[in-house]
Amino acid sequence: MLLAKGIAMLEITAIIMGKPTTIHPTLIWDHDHQILIDTAHPGQLPLLQEAAAQEGVLLEHITDIVLTHQDIDHIGGLPAVIEQANHAPRVWSSDIEKPYIEGRKRLIKITDEALASLDLMFPPETPAAFRAAFRKMLEHPPHANVTAQLLGGDKLDACGGITVINTPGHTPGHISLYHHSSQILIAGDALTAENGKLAAPTPAATLDYEMALHSLKALVDYPTQHVICYHGGLCSGQLNEQIARISAGAVV
Ligand SMILES: [Zn+2]
C-alpha cells in the first residue's frame, strides 16, 4: 500500500504455526536508494518480491536492509533477500541486535523453555518431521552479517531523511524509524495495531514491558501522520496523543 511518495507498507500473509499470520515490512525509496525495513519469515522471499513489485519496486535493486530487531519474523528472510540482490545491500541494525542477527548468539527469545514448549504451539496434525525442522531452524536461524550500525538519533541521509529512534523493551536493541517527508513512523514491534487502532505492545512477546512502555515516550516528539506496526498494519489519526497515552499505561 503506497502511503506517500516513496514509502509503501507491504502486506505478507501466510499460515504460520497453523494460523494465518500477516506482517508488514516497509519499503522506502528515492532515486538512489531502495530500503527494505525487516525481511519477513524464513521462506517468504517470493511473497516479499511480489509485494514489492506491486509497489513498482524490484527487490533485486535493494540497496539497504534495515532490521528493527532480531526476532525471526523480522530477520528470517535476510540471507535470501541479500542473495537475490544485484549488488550486495548494506545491512543495518543497532549494535545490541547485531550478534544475534549474525548468528553469533542464540536469539534472545529462543530459550530452552521456549524450545521445550514449542510442541504445544503446533496444531496437533503437524508432522513430526516438520516439528523437528522448525525447531532446528529456531536453534540455527537464517543469519547474515550486519554491515552498518544504527544509533538512536542517527539520521540517514536517504529518501528525505530517516531518523533512528531507540525503542528497547520488545528486545534490548529494538529501534523504530521516522520518515521525515511523509511523517510516517515505522514502529516495528514497539507498538501493535488492531483494525486501524493503535495498541500497546503485546506483553507475552515483550522482553521488558516497563521498558517498552517507557521507550514510547521518545516517539511522541515526532509529528506523525501514520504509524506502521509490523503486526497490525497502518494507523492514522491523533497518533502522538495516542502514543503518549499508551506509554502512560492507559488502555486506549
Ligand atoms: Zn515481530
The predicted-structure confidence for 205-218, as pLDDT tens digits, reads as follows: 899 999 999 999 99
What are the grid coordinates assigned to 194, written together? Answer: 488492531
- pLDDT, residue 114, reads 87
Tell me, in angstroms, the distance from the centre of ligand 1 to residue 71's CA.
6
* Domain spans in the chain, listed from the N-terminal domain onward: 2-109+141-247
Alpha helices in 96-208 (DSSP H): 98-101, 112-121, 128-139
- pLDDT, residue 131, reads 86
Tell me, in angstroms, the distance from the centre of ligand 1 to residue 150's CA.
19
H or E segment at 211? helix 209-215
d(CA 40, CA 102): 16
Residue 218 contacts residue 167 (beta carbons within 8 Å): yes
How many angstroms separate the Cα of 230 from the Cα of each of 27, 50, 120, 185?
Answer: 12, 18, 25, 11
Closest alpha carbon to 101 in 63, 66, 69: 69
Tell me, in angstroms, the distance from the centre of ligand 1 to residue 74's CA.
6
H or E segment at 173? none
Tell me, in angstroms, the distance from the centre of ligand 1 to residue 20's CA.
15
d(CA 229, CA 18): 22
User: CA quadruple 31, 32, 37, 39: dihedral positive or negative?
Assistant: positive
d(CA 165, CA 219): 7
Tell me, in angstroms, the distance from the centre of ligand 1 to residue 64's CA.
20
Give the β-pairing of 64-66 and 90-93: parallel
Q: Could you report the average pLDDT of every consecutive run of 10 residues in the chain (252 residues)? A: 96 87 97 97 96 97 98 97 98 98 94 85 84 88 97 94 97 98 97 94 91 95 96 94 88 50
**Site of grid cell 502512560:** 248
Closest alpha carbon to 85 in 64, 56, 55: 64
∠ CA(41), CA(46), CA(48), 5° rounding? 60
Tell me, in angstroms, the distance from the centre of ligand 1 to residue 72's CA.
8
Tell me, in angstroms, the distance from the centre of ligand 1 to residue 126's CA.
23
DSSP for 170-194, written as a single string: SSTT-EEEEETTTTEEEEETSSEEE
- pLDDT, residue 250, reads 59
Tell me, in angstroms, the distance from the centre of ligand 1 to residue 73's CA.
5
What pLDDT digit, counting tens, does each position of 119-145 carry?
Answer: 788 888 888 888 888 888 888 899 999
Tell me, in angstroms, the distance from the centre of ligand 1 to residue 41's CA.
9
What are the grid coordinates assigned to 250, written together? Answer: 492507559
- pLDDT, residue 204, reads 87
Backbone φ/ψ region at 171: left (φ over 0), alpha (ψ -120 to 50), beta: beta
The CATH topology of domain 2-109+141-247 is Metallo-beta-lactamase; Chain A (3.60.15)
Residue 207 contacts residue 165 (beta carbons within 8 Å): no
Tell me, in angstroms, the distance from the centre of ligand 1 to residue 143's CA.
16
- pLDDT, residue 115, reads 86
Give the β-pairing of 34-37 and 26-29: antiparallel
